[in-house]
Amino acid sequence: MPANRNALIRYKTIDNCLRNKYRRWTLEDLIDACSDALDEYEGISKGISRRTIQMDIQVMRSEKLGYNAPIVVYDNKYYKYEDENYSITNTPLSEQDLHVMSEAVEVLRQFKGFSYFANMGDIINRLEDHVTSARQKTIPVIDFEKNESLKGIDYLDVIYHAIVNKQVLSMKYRSFKARSASTFMFHPYLLKEYRNRWFVFGIRQGSSTLVNLALDRIHHLEIAKGETYKENTLFDLTTFFDDLVGVTKNRGSKAEVVRFQVNPQNAPYVETKPLHKSQRIVERLKNGDIIFEIKVVINQELQREIFGFAEGIKVLSPPSLVHFMASKLRSATKLYDEKE
């Protein structure tokens, strides 16, 4: 049977005490520390018996919870960890834990073919990799893209629950173009991740225009109590991104057919990693170039994808995108043509 909450508080308190090697701990000291902890966290002020703490120490020493804590008594009076670097918080997963996790991975893998679980692929791979590395004492062999310094991640949970519970947010936000931050009420509908940045889609109070806000531009966020939530009637969450590269779709924007020619050096990359799911090959030229076609809303994310290939891609249509790309590339060329 798993340890109850009070017992876990005592184990954690004893662990904290024994990790403090600058103090000598008697059994009475540990009793007092655990009594104080239970009073602080649970409001229990009746005290703890010597036998309870003695039993706790025996449990921590044993394999019952997988701790195997190296608790020793010295000078016939004081308690300490024989290994000064030990802590129950560093206890590795037990063989039983690993077995259960392995079974969980196998169960989850059975659902990967279903659309409802399609987005769990990365999670399953990470869990499986962790179990394997723990069993074999090896380093993980999967390293997912991450940005440890990314701002705004701490707002994810608040926004998520606001969407689920249909709550209005009071938000202080500053876009890249704004001189200062502004505060407004926001009705959130959807969280979206793109290129390791998070965005929230919704509307400002008093507006009917759908906007997406980058979480790393939020300065402050909290639930606006007493405000009436406005339901989403602006877009279908299941189809909104079908014609998009990225997250930007201006009001009234419609998908257009974009045709582009890729040189032989870059064609394999574009062919094996399409710019959009609608991508198809129009023609393979004798010189090795390939002409592709996609049907998407033209936005800044698409433009940046194309710019990333520099001279490797030539946009053929529509004319508006051809003109835009040519103008930007000419401007970029001037940066390198200018003499210092």
pLDDT digits (tens, 9 = 90+) for 134-149: 555 556 566 666 666 6
Mean pLDDT of the region 86-92:
79
Please state, in angstroms and as integers, the Cα–Cα distance from residue 290 to each residue in 151, 261, 338, following that order. 40, 6, 34
Mean pLDDT of 103-116: 55
Percent of the chain with pLDDT over 70: 81
Q: What are phi and psi of 114, to 5 degrees?
A: -85, 140
The residue that leads in pLDDT, 129 or 2, is 129
Q: How many CA atoms lie within 13 A of 78 on its CB side?
A: 13
Choose among 149, 152, 151, 133: nearest CA to 141. Answer: 133
CA pseudo-torsion sign 330, 332, 336, 340: positive
pLDDT reported for residue 116: 44
Q: pLDDT band at residue 114, thresholds of 50, 70 and 90?
A: very low
CA–CA separation, 36 and 29 (whole Å) = 11
Instruction: State if pTM tops 0.75.
Output: no
Q: Return d(Cα 63, Cα 84) in angstroms, integer.
A: 20
For residue 104, what pLDDT is reported? 66
Find residue 214's DSSP bridge partners: 199
Flag whether pLDDT at 131 surpasses 90: no
pLDDT of residue 22: 85
Q: Kindly tell me if the per-residue pLDDT of 86 is higher than 50.
A: yes
Q: What is the pLDDT of residues 144-194, one digit of tens each?
A: 666 666 788 888 888 988 998 999 999 999 988 888 999 999 999 999 988
pLDDT in tens, 28-55: 999 999 999 998 888 888 888 999 999 9
